Structure 1
Amino acid sequence: MADQEQWWYNHKTGEVEQGRQSLGLDRDGPFATKEEALRAPEIARERSRAWDEEDKGS
């Protein structure tokens, strides 16, 4: 998938961007859809919880 077809979540502004518009350290992604990018903060929390659970099991 080309960069312009991918979506990014800019955690500095809270906005979704199509293609690479911002600095890499300010964005999360890529995501396949705008809707998925809008869920980026929720996805990050879910992944963080999963990693915490993995660490507890180690």
Structure 2
Amino acid sequence: MASDPNPDQGWYFNTRTKQVEHLEKSRGIDLLGPYPDEATARRALDIVRERNKQADGDANWSDD
């Protein structure tokens, strides 16, 4: 992780390490977030599943 002189105050979930990160972050491609707090970041994969399920049922969405 790189040290950032002006760190983002958000919380992130690292999909590669399965760890929550705050202030010092890994590569952006590995991160979900930002989330407002650690507890929400820990639920990141559940949040993604819930949003995907909602989008799958959205009659206004089209792949065309």
Same fold (TM over 0.5): yes
Runs of 4+ in 1 over 3 A off after TM superposition: none
CA distance in 1, matches of 2:50, 2:32: 14
| Superposed CA offset, 1:17-44 (max 9, x none) | 0025111110000001000000000000
Structure showing greater Rg: 2
- Could you tell me which residue of structure 2 aligns to residue 13 of structure 1? 17
Is the contact between residue 11 and residue 26 of structure 1 (CA under 8 Å) also seen in structure 2? yes
- Structure 2 unaligned regions, length at least 5: 1-6
The residue aligned with 1:39 is 43
Amino acid in the other structure paired with 2:40: E
Q: CA RMSD in A?
A: 1.3
Distance 1:46 1:20 in 2: 27
Structure with the higher helix share, 1 or 2: 1
Q: TM-score, normalised by structure 1?
A: 0.85
Gaps of 5+ in 1: none
